[in-house]
Structure formats: C-alpha cells, structure tokens
C-alpha cells in the first residue's frame, strides 16, 4: 500500500475505506440543527459545511478524472488540488464578487465559489474537465490552457508562471480601492473630462482582491515584489484591499520549504497582517479566513492568510514522489486528507453519517465521470487562426475614430480644461517642439481627454522624469493620476496590469530599456497573454513608455544605452512603437492609447533618449528635427495607424531605399541628403513600428528601387534588420539587400561605444557600396 499511495486509485480507495470503517462505528452525536455552527465559534454552519464538503469532493473527483483522462490520452493536465481542498473555506469567507487570481491547486475554491452562485449558472465540473481535455468549448481559455477562470465567478485566469500574478493582484487591489473612492481620485484631477464616464471595474465598491499561491512561490522575485509593494504602499498610507493566500504544502515539486520558513518569511513582511490556519481543517480555515477577509474589507489593507495544506498524489501526474519523499512522510500527509477531516467534522457534529457522505462522494464522482465522458471528445482548437483569434484583435478604423473623437473633445467640451492644463497656452501655439516636449504635451492632452489614464513610474512625478519628459504633469493633474512608484519594475508593470483590468488606462514608464528586462515577464507572460487565456473576457490595456536605444552623449555605458529590442519583438500581440520624430511620437502615442482603449492593446512605446532634446537635423540651428504640435482638430487627419511606416524622398532619381528607425532615421536622412547632393536619389523609410512591422510599406519601398540598405541600430543578432530582411525574402523581393547593425556586444562607456554602434560614416559607406553594385 505504502508504495502506491500516490495514485488516484489509492487515494479514492483510502477515502472509501475510511468512511466504510467509520460507518460501522456507533454514532454518539445527535443530529444537529443545520444552522448551528459545526464547531465552537468557527462561524461555519452545518449547512455551509455540507456545501463545502461537496465542493471539496468535486475538486477531488476532478483530480481523479484528470489522471484517468491522462492515462487514456484524452487529458493534458494533471496538476491537482488534492490535499488543498481546505481552500473551499477561503471562497466561503469571501464574496463571489471579490476578484480572485488563483493558484493551480485552488480547485475547491473554484467549486465552492461556483456553489455561491444560483444553481446552474456555472458548472465547475464541466468547466474544469473541459480545461483538462483542452476542449475549444472551455469557457474561459477555450482550450488554450487549463486555467481557473470565469467572468461569472470573478476569477481572472492566471498563467503557470509561479507568482507572476501577484504583482497584478496588487494592481487590482489598487484599482478596486480607486474605484471605491467613488472614482473621485480619478476625477479629482482638475482637468478630468466631466462628460466622460470613467469605466469603473465590474466589482462592488467594497470588494477586495484575493490571490493564492504555493509555499515555494513565496520565495519568487515576483512574489517578494508583490509583498513588498503591498507593504510599502500600506506604509505610505495607500489603501490596498488585498488578501494573499499561501497554500503551504511544504514542497515545491521536490524541494522542501525549510520548516518554519514560510511562516517566518510571511510574518516578517512589514505592512502585511499575518493569519495562519490549518488548511486541512475546514472549520478553522473558515474562521481564520473570515476574520482575515473582514479585516481586509473593513480596513482596506493587505493581509496574508497562511494555510498549512498537504499535497496528495505528488506534484502532478508524472511525478514519482517516492524518489524524493519517504513513504512515512507521504503516509503522514495522507492521514491529514482534508476530505476525511471534513467528513469527520460532519459526522462528529451529527450532520451526516459516514454512509451518507460516502454515497454523496459516489454521486459526485459519478457526475464527474459522466461529464468527463461527454467532454473528452469535444472539438479542440482546429487551426492556427482559431488559436490566435483572441490574442490581439485590432480594429484600426475604430482606433482612428477614437483618436479623432479625442481631438473633438479636446477642441470642444474640454477646451477650457485643456487650456487650463497647458497654463493658458496650448502647445500648438508655440514653435517647434523636441521629442521630449512633444511627448510631454501629448501626455498632457491624453490625461485631459482620458480621465481613466494614469501616468506612473520611477521619478516621473515630482522630478518629471530623468529627462523631463513628464515634467509638470503631476502639478497639472494631481498625485492621484501622476505618481512616483517605488523602485521595482515588476511592481510598476504589475500595477498597470491590475489597473488595466480595473478599467483604468495605465501609462507606466520604465526608466531605461535595460531595466525592463528583470521585469519582462510581466509584459510577456502576463500583459500580452491576458486576452489569449481569457478569449478577450479580460484585458489589460496599457501603454508602457520606455526610454531606450543608444547614442546618448555624455551618459554612456550599456545600462543607459540599451539598444536591444529582440525580447520585445517576439512577444505575441505586443505592439512596439519606436518614434523618431516629435510629430510622429505625438501621433503614435495617441494611437497606442486609442488602441488600448478600443482593443485592450498592450503597447511598448520606445523613446529614443538620444533624440529627446535634439532640435537640428542637417546643420546646427536648422531646427530640422523639431516639429510643431498638431492641434486637436487635426489629430484625426494626422493619425498614424499601427504598422504604417513613414517615407522620405531625396534627389531626382530612385536608386536606393534605406530602411531604418529610431536614431537611424536621423542619421540616414543626413546621409541621404549628402548622397542627393552627389546626384543619387534615395528613399528613407522610417519603420516607426517594430511590431507589427509595416510589411506592405517595406515591400513597396524596397521594390521601388531594387536596392535596399537596412540601417539597424540594434544588435546584429536578433536585431530589427533580421525581421526586415526576412520580410523582404518572404515577399519575394529579388533586388539587392544589405544591412548594417550594431556589433553583438554590450556597450562600453565613453567614446569606445562608437566602435560598436552604427555610425553615419558606415551608413554612407554601405550606401555608396550598394549604389555601385
């Protein structure tokens, strides 16, 4: 027996065996009132305990079914909740309107929450089984992954990346609290748009957010970021109604959490109120969860609920846990089986006999088996088109209309608010603007026209950004809409992820591209995948401004001149904007915000630092890189759609096409002017969008000359040029094509950087060589 205790069959047998044995014991307790509490002052009524027993049993049978389906080749996911079913009591302590981001072992929570809705509204058995068999009919992810998620249950699907949902949960709590304050914090900005209704989150004012996770996950950087940010926020007086639930089974796959570590680590977190319960004991879990939830709800402050659980049947179906656990240890956990504990509670409190519970267990088991038989043959996603359909749908016409309407509002109903925001002098009345000034003015306008927009990041508020790009925004709109965050990129993006879910329009800033990378999964695994894993039911619209690219004068080195965008370009569905010019930056930023609003698009808006304050193009004082600000009435006419390049033409002939972006645009324009003087006609194409690439424009402009030079300031390997050249090949381009790109290295400090970066001389040499070819 001991050697096979990990199997679903044995777990099932044990439960039956125990209840059968108990059924022969004389019942001493008289039948109790279903409204009475089952034990002491737990607050858990007998009726509730029975319902939760059902949820626990349902979850257990789903785990057993997952193993059977897997063995039959019909199921694709076996990580289960067995041993964690005490989390049903956490659901019972919450309201079904409290948004939840769940651990993959929170199956009983899911079932218990489904039970809180009117009968038949959500069928947890069918939902979960469909996830297991990757049925396209699965209601939240549609067969894209086995997740716990449901709009009816306010359960937001999470990915399998440990703890990656925790920073989002912090953001969600932030969004809930903002909304609770009547949305007034949003509207409090002096220049909010009164005629626009700020979309409020679909949760009640007094909702709280909850997120669950395992014990090993407590150590993850994303988790520590979330704990720290919640505590930090609490310390500053910011209210965050968030309950962290740690389901502590003592193991992370095969690695033990050192005895006492999880409790010590969670207790030591400043700003987090610690609660602990035996997660195998339903009544105790309920009592402690209820008190924790009530405290969070009342005080709007973060707390942690540490539940001691056990893990039954190993980590997942394929896990042979006897390889790393002693049989006695496994046996010990089995004895703590929460289902048996709840059964005992019901029997001891006179609510049910062992035989009644056994027959209930069998009845639910039968229902699960029946449903499994029905869903196992359901169609799967049948084509690449079906798989990607919800990833990042784009409606460019609506986006364009949204830009036009924002302009109409700014020129109409919001005229006074806008004038006020600009201190009486709107930017279009001034002269040519730099890139930094243009972005600053555009952000000002966006905060006027979009009352749900928030600007935040490191140093963006009081200082106005390292380069002054957000200067004055806090004064104009107040600290509720423009604020400094703590120094943690994961938390900055997490805040955006939750705020976006909560109906806001976050515009976070990452101070330097090099510092995105430690937080990149919040973009890749979380932001970009939200629509994919929820079929668009949930979205996290966001425009992440990132200062980046190279060529900074006087402030060198890799960290402030990171020019690697490969990590962004392959994130499915992510829009990557890389404006070079002030006027393009303004239009493109408006596009990104409109796309966020209309389609829930997640964009990275990559700002070339070296061009922030550049005014001239060809000669000192020519002002060729500055551009006038486009007034709102013309935003519609000057709209730049996602994925459309900008072209420039030099000279009378059409001999060469230079395809470039960012700093490369300015350098290439200068080279093109020199070539034109020498009689060579040349086109320069500014890609403007690095994802999706402007394929049609690339192909057309390349074909026009038959000689293409790609000027790519990013690294040769994985750089943008690779994408451009592949685009040309894919399109059947047969002309000449060359590229120049940066050397595959980190950038050194000082003038040595010029040895590895693309420079104007190199561009000119390459262009002349191509012209001579």
Ligand X SMILES: Cc1ncc(C[n+]2csc(CCOP(=O)(O)OP(=O)(O)O)c2C)c(N)n1
Q: How many whole angstroms separate alpha carbon 651 and alpha carbon 657?
A: 12
Q: How far apart are CA 501 and CA 480, in angstroms?
A: 18
239-268 positions binding ligand X, by CB under 6 A: 247, 249, 251-253
Secondary structure letter of residue 747 according to DSSP? P
Q: Residues 492, 508: contact at Cβ < 8 Å? A: yes
Query: How many Cβ atoms sit within 10 Å of the Cβ of residue 366?
Result: 11
Q: Which does 217 bind (CB under 5 to 8 A by kind): Mg ion, ligand X, none?
A: ligand X
Q: How do strand 707-715 and strand 736-742 relate by DSSP bridges?
A: parallel
Give the Å distances, CA to CA, from 680 to 61, 230, 523, 759: 75, 60, 44, 20
Q: How far is the CB of 400 from ligand X (least distance, A)?
A: 39
Contact segment (CB under 6 A) with ligand X among 19-27, 160-168, 564-572, 629-637 equals 160-168
Closest approach, Cβ 524 to ligand X, in A, equals 12
Q: Which does 160 bind (CB under 5 to 8 A by kind): ligand X, Mg ion, none?
A: ligand X
Cα(760)–Cα(773) distance, integer angstroms: 20
253 touches which of ligand X, Mg ion, none (CB within 5 to 8 A by kind)? Answer: ligand X
User: Nearest 10 degrees: CA dihedral of 754, 757, 758, 761?
Assistant: 10
Min dist. Cβ of residue 77 to ligand X (A)? 12
- Residue 763 tokens read as 């561009």
Which CB atom, from 105 or from 560, has the smaller least distance to ligand X? 105
Name which of residues 294 to 333 contact ligand X (CB under 6 A).
311, 315
DSSP 351: S
Q: Which of 45, 48, 59, 249 binds Mg ion (CB under 5 A)?
A: 249
Nearer to ligand X, 162 or 602 (CB): 162
C-alpha span between 525 and 533 (Å, rounded): 11
From residue 95 to residue 134, what is the string marking binding to ligand X with x (rule CB under 6 A)? ----------x-----------------------------
Which of Mg ion, ligand X, none sits in contact with 418, Cβ below 5 to 8 A by type? Answer: none
Q: Which of residues 176-215 bind Mg ion (CB under 5 A)?
A: 214-215
The least distance separating ligand X from the CB of residue 600, rounded to whole angstroms, comes to 25
Q: Shortest distance, CB of residue 533 to Mg ion, whole angstroms?
A: 23
> For residues 157 and 632, what is the distance between their CA atoms, to the nearest angstrom?
39
**Binding-site residue total for ligand X (CB under 6 A)?**
15
**62 vs 162 by CB, closer to ligand X:** 162
- Quote the tokens at residue 755: 């040895």
Nearest Cα neighbor of 422 from 438, 452, 444 is 444
| Of the candidates 613, 605, 616, the residue with the CA atom closest to the CA atom of residue 578 | 605
Structure tokens at 601: 């698009």
Among residues 160, 653, 717, 745, the one that binds ligand X under rule CB under 6 A: 160
Separation between Cα atoms, residue 230 and residue 238, nearest integer Å: 9
Q: How far apart are the first and last CA of the chain?
A: 79
Q: Both tokens of residue 364?
A: 């639910």
Question: What is the H or E stretch that residue 101 is in?
Answer: strand 100-101
87 binds Mg ion, rule: CB under 5 A: no
Q: Are 747 and 652 in contact (CB under 8 A)?
A: no
Measured from each CB, the residue nearest to Mg ion is 214
The minimum distance between CB 307 and ligand X, in angstroms, equals 11
Beta bridge partners of 736: 707
Peptide bond into 692 cis (omega under 30): yes
Considering only residues 194 to 233 of the shown chain, the ones binding ligand X according to CB under 6 A are 214-217
Three-state SS sequence of 315-347: CCCCCCHHHCCCHHHHHHHHHCCHHHHHHHHHH
* Residue 105 binds: one of Mg ion, ligand X, none (C-beta under 5 to 8 A by kind): ligand X
CB of 148 or CB of 551, closer to ligand X: 148
Nearer residue to Mg ion within complex by CB, 129 or 251: 251
Closest CB 304 distance from Mg ion, rounded Å? 15
Binding partner of 70, given Mg ion, ligand X, none, CB within 5-8 angstroms per partner class: none
Interface residues toward Mg ion, by CB under 5 A = 214-216, 249, 251
Interface residues toward ligand X, by CB under 6 A = 105, 160-162, 214-217, 247, 249, 251-253, 311, 315
């Amino acid at each position: 027996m001991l050697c096979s205790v990990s199997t679903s069959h044995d777990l099932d047998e044990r439960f039956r065996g125990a209840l059968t044995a108990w059924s022969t014991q004389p019942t001493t307790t008289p039948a109790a009132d279903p409204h009475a509490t089952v034990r002491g002052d737990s607050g858990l009524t007998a009726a509730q305990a029975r319902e939760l027993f059902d949820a626990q049993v349902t979850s257990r049978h789903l785990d057993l079914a997952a193993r059977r389906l897997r063995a039959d080749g019909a199921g694709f996911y076996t990580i289960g909740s067995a041993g964690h079913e005490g989390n049903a009591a956490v659901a019972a302590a919450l309201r079904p309107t409290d948004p939840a981001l769940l651990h993959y072992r929170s199956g009983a929570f899911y079932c218990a929450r489904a039970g809180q809705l009117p009968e038949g509204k959500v069928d947890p058995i069918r939902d979960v089984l469909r996830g297991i068999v990757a049925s396209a009919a699965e209601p939240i992810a549609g067969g894209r992954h086995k997740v716990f998620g449901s709009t009816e249950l306010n359960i937001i699907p999470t990915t399998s990346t440990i703890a990656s949902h925790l920073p989002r949960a912090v953001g969600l709590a932030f969004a809930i609290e903002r909304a609770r304050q009547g949305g007034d914090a949003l509207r409090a900005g002096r220049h909010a748009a009164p005629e626009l209704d700020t979309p409020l989150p679909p949760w009640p004012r007094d909702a709280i957010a909850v997120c669950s996770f395992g014990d090993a996950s407590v150590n993850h950087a994303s988790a520590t970021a979330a704990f720290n940010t919640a505590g930090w926020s609490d310390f500053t007086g910011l209210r965050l109604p968030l309950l962290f639930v740690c389901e502590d089974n003592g193991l992370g796959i095969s690695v033990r959490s050192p005895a006492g570590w999880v409790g010590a680590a969670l207790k030591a977190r400043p700003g987090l109120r610690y609660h602990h319960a035996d997660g195998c004991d339903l009544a105790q879990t309920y009592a402690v969860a209820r008190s924790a939830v009530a405290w969070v709800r009342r005080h709007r402050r973060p707390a942690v609920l540490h539940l001691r659980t056990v893990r039954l049947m190993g980590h997942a179906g394929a896990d042979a846990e006897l390889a790393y656990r002693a049989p006695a240890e496994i046996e010990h956990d089995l004895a703590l089986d929460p289902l048996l504990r709840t059964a005992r509670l019901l029997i001891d409190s006179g609510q049910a006999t062992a035989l009644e519970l056994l027959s209930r267990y069998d009845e639910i088991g039968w229902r699960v088996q029946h449903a499994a038989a029905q869903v196992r043959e359901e169609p799967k996603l049948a084509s690449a088109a079906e798989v990607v359909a919800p990833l990042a749908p784009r409606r460019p016409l609506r986006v364009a209309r949204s830009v036009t309407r924002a302009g109409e509002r700014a020129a109409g109903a919001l005229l006074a608010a806008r004038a006020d925001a600009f201190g009486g002098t709107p930017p279009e009345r001034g002269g040519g603007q730099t890139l930094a000034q243009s972005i600053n003015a555009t952000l000002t306008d966006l905060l006027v026209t979009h009352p749900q927009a928030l600007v935040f990041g490191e140093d963006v508020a009081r200082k106005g950004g390292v380069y002054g790009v957000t200067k004055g925004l806090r004064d104009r709109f107040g600290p509720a809409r423009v604020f400094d965050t703590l120094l943690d990129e994961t938390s900055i993006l997490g805040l955006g992820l939750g705020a976006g879910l909560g109906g806001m329009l976050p515009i976070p800033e990452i101070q330097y591209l090099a510092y995105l990378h430690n937080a990149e999964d919040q973009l890749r695994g979380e932001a970009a995948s939200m629509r994919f894993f929820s079929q668009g039911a949930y979205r996290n619209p966001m425009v992440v401004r990132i200062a980046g690219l190279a060529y900074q004068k006087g402030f060198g080195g890799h960290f402030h001149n990171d020019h690697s965008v490969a990590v962004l370009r392959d994130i499915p569905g992510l829009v990557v904007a890389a404006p070079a010019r002030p006027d393009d930056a303004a239009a493109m930023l408006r596009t990104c915000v409109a796309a966020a609003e209309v389609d829930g698009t997640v964009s990275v808006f990559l700002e070339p630092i070296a061009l922030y304050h550049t005014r001239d193009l060809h000669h000192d004082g020519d002002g060729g890189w500055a551009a006038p600000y486009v007034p709102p009435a013309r935003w519609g006419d000057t709209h730049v759609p996602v994925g459309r390049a900008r072209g420039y033409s030099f000279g009378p002939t059409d001999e060469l096409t230079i395809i470039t972006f960012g700093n490369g645009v300015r350098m290439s324009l200068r080279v093109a002017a020199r070539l034109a003087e020498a009689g060579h006609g040349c086109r320069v194409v500014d890609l403007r969008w690095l994802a999706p690439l402007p394929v049609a424009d690339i192909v057309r402009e390349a074909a026009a000359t038959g000689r293409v030079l790609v000027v790519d300031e990013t690294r040769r390997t994985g750089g943008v040029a690779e994408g451009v050249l592949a685009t040309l090949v894919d399109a059947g381009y047969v002309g000449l094509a060359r590229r120049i790109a940066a050397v595959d290295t980190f950038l050194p400090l000082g003038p040595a950087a010029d040895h590895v970066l693309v420079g104007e001389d190199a561009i000119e040499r390459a262009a002349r060589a191509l012209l001579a070819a």
